[in-house]
């Protein structure tokens, strides 16, 4: 960002992470250091901006300590959204409205912190600005636990979530060893169609832990029968079997494994199906088909997103009500 005498606006969008507020703090501090007059925060991303919901961040971040606390506070301080902008040619009204609001606020730089869907928003706004001669600069700030943003080596948010998955997998493996009874535990891990986070379950392996017995990534077609054969085989040889499976594994016809259940059928604005129930489906199948096998499904779900190993100070949660915009 060049030096500016104008105003800046920043928003957060998509799933939260343990460090998305650190990116917010970075944008805020840089904009301030480079002379921005006002730095606004959109509440609940572009969806909130459309309803003119924003705050003057300098009224909420008033000291260096506030910046430090914000950096260390997991989850999205400004609130988030999953809001898909239409194609420009389909609906220019919505863009006229957004640019009207931005012009009223005298915005020169617009920052949006998020993953692939948020970058879609930035691209559309930037295209509209070019088409209409607007001078506003649109910048995407990468974040996602999925680690699947093109052009990035790794995304902020992935590291903390990966560390959490590695640690918790080891704890589950330890837990499985306590009873003198056989069991199979299925861990379901986020990441949608990217296997980075599920792959991080392998971090559990070290000199005092043999790691998960199998890891299933979404990039590889999932064969339910083959899975059942492998589990039954391991079950014969071991007391405790622990399997890490991505929420995004699909069978040969393209359906997600979680779609084989009668579970939740929610699709978001970007057309993403809510992926939940894979571990439960597999654990129930094992329980039915492998006699005498104790099974457990653990869906890490949103637990892994804001998991942070750097924060445990009471004053941080007092200073920033996580999930409740200022």
Active site residues: 146
Smallest distance from ligand F6P to CB 207, Å: 31
Smallest distance from ligand F6P to CB 282, Å: 18
Q: Which residues, numbered 242-261, are part of the site for ligand F6P (CB under 6 A)?
A: 247
The single residue among 8, 11, 15, 185 that binds ligand F6P, judged by CB under 6 A, is 15
Q: What is the DSSP string of 295-310?
A: EEEEE-GGGGTS--SS
Smallest distance from ligand F6P to CB 149, Å: 10
Which H helix or E strand runs over 107?
strand 107-114
Contact status: 191 vs ligand F6P (CB under 6 A): yes
Angle at 274 between CA 120 and CA 287, to 5 degrees: 150
The single residue among 8, 69, 146, 242 that binds ligand F6P, judged by CB under 6 A, is 146
Q: Which of 175, 107, 169, 174 is nearest to 138 (CA)?
A: 107
The 268-307 contact track toward ligand F6P, x by CB under 6 A, reads ------xx--------------------------x--x--
In the block, residue with structure tokens 């930035």: 122
Decide whether 14 or 212 has the Cβ nearer to ligand F6P: 14
DSSP lists the bridge partners of residue 37 as none
Q: Which residues, numbered 77-136, are part of the site for ligand F6P (CB under 6 A)?
A: 82, 115
Cβ-based neighbours of 246, under 8 Å, separated by 6 or more: 188, 189, 191, 195, 197, 198, 216, 217, 218, 278
**Chain center to CA of 208:** 30
Smallest distance from ligand F6P to CB 10, Å: 19
Smallest distance from ligand F6P to CB 139, Å: 20
β-bridge pairing 183-189 and 54-56: unpaired
Distance CA(23)–CA(180), nearest Å, equals 47
Q: C-alpha distances in angstroms, 256 versus 151, 213, 219? A: 27, 22, 12
Contact status: 144 vs ligand F6P (CB under 6 A): yes
Q: Which bin fits 200, alpha (ψ -120 to 50), beta or left (φ > 0)? A: alpha
DSSP lists the bridge partners of residue 209 as 206
The 36-75 contact track toward ligand F6P, x by CB under 6 A, reads ----------------------------------------
Decide whether 235 or 280 has the Cβ nearer to ligand F6P: 280
Distance CA(284)–CA(295), nearest Å, equals 8
**Binding region for ligand F6P (CB under 6 A) out of 169-177, 187-195, 249-257, 309-317:** 187-195
Decide whether 148 or 213 has the Cβ nearer to ligand F6P: 148
Decide whether 228 or 303 has the Cβ nearer to ligand F6P: 303
Residue 254: burial class (beta carbons within 10 Å; 0-12, 13-18, 19+)? exposed
Contact status: 145 vs ligand F6P (CB under 6 A): yes
The single residue among 143, 170, 192, 250 that binds ligand F6P, judged by CB under 6 A, is 192
Residues that bind ligand F6P (CB under 6 A): 14-15, 82, 115, 144-146, 190-192, 247, 274-275, 302, 305
């Amino acid at each position: 960002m060049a030096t500016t005498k104008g105003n800046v606006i920043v928003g957060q969008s998509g799933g939260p992470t343990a460090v998305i507020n650190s990116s917010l703090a970075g944008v805020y501090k840089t904009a301030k250091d480079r002379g921005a007059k006002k730095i606004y925060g959109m509440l609940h991303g572009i969806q909130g901006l459309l309803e003119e919901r924003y705050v003057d961040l300098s009224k909420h971040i008033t000291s260096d300590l506030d910046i430090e606390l914000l950096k260390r506070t997991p989850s999205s301080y400004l609130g988030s959204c999953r809001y898909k902008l239409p194609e420009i040619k389909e609906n220019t009204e919505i863009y006229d409205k957004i640019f009207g609001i931005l012009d009223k606020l005298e915005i020169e730089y617009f920052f949006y912190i998020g993953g692939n869907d948020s970058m879609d928003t930035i691209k559309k706004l930037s295209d509209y600005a070019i088409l209409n001669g607007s001078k506003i600069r649109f910048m995407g700030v990468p974040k996602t636990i999925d680690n699947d943003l093109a052009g990035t080596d790794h995304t902020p948010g992935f590291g903390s979530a990966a560390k959490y998955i590695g640690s918790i997998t080891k704890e589950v493996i330890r837990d499985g060893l306590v009873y003198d009874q056989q069991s199979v535990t299925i861990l379901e891990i986020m990441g949608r169609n990217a296997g980075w986070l599920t792959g991080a379950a392998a971090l559990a392996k070290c000199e005092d832990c043999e790691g998960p017995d199998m890891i299933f990534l979404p990039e590889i077609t999932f064969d339910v029968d083959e899975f059942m054969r492998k589990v039954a085989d391991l079950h014969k040889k071991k007391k405790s079997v622990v399997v890490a499976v991505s929420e995004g594994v699909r069978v040969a016809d393209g359906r997600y494994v979680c779609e084989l259940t009668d579970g939740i059928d929610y699709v978001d604005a970007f057309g993403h199906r809510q992926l939940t129930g894979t571990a439960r489906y597999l654990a129930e199948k094992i329980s039915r088909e492998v006699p005498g096998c104790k099974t457990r499904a653990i869906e890490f779900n949103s637990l892994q997103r804001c998991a942070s190993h750097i924060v445990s100070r009471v004053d941080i949660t007092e200073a920033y009500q996580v999930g409740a915009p200022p």
